[in-house]
Amino acid sequence: VQLQASGGGLVQAGGSLRLSCAASGRTLSSYVMGWFRQAPGKEREFVAGISWSGGRTYYADSVKGRFTIFRDKVKNTVDLQMNSLKPEDTAVYYCAADQTLGSSIDSDGRRYDYWGQGTLVTVSS
């Protein structure tokens, strides 16, 4: 499956953005999905994940209460609604898919099999 992340941009602190991860080739409901980010000079980190059914979600402590991951089954996307953005949220955001049947949400990026190309989010202070 090929993943395409979009929706990044420049926003002021306190603002909102919605990222979207689209897929070609297969429905995303077959995968556990995750969003990760990598800031300049830092390692990639987990942001949020969602189960294949959409019934369970998991967030990094740094974004809990501000970000929401959800599936749009009509559009076949997994979106990340980001509110109350902070300058420290500035990073390239990647979506990823875990194809392992029956897997649970994992914050370890090595568990994911497919990655999108990334979309840049810049939050100005």
Find residue 96's DSSP bridge partners. Answer: 34, 115
In a 13 Å sphere around the CA of 102, the CA atoms on its Cβ side amount to 0
Give the tens place of pLDDT for each residue, 98-107: 988 788 899 9
Whose tokens are 């990823």? That residue is 96
> Does residue 34 register a pLDDT over 80?
yes
Q: How confident is the model at residue 120 (pLDDT cuts 50, 70, 90)?
A: very high
What Cα–Cα distance (Å) separates residue 3 from each residue in 11, 15, 83, 123?
A: 24, 26, 23, 24
What integer is the mean pLDDT of 54-78? 95
Quote the pLDDT of residue 26: 81
Alpha carbon 99 to chain centroid distance?
16
Alpha carbon 86 to chain centroid distance?
17
Question: In terms of C-beta density within 10 A (0-12 exposed, 13-18 middle, 19 or more buried), how is residue 101 classed?
Answer: exposed
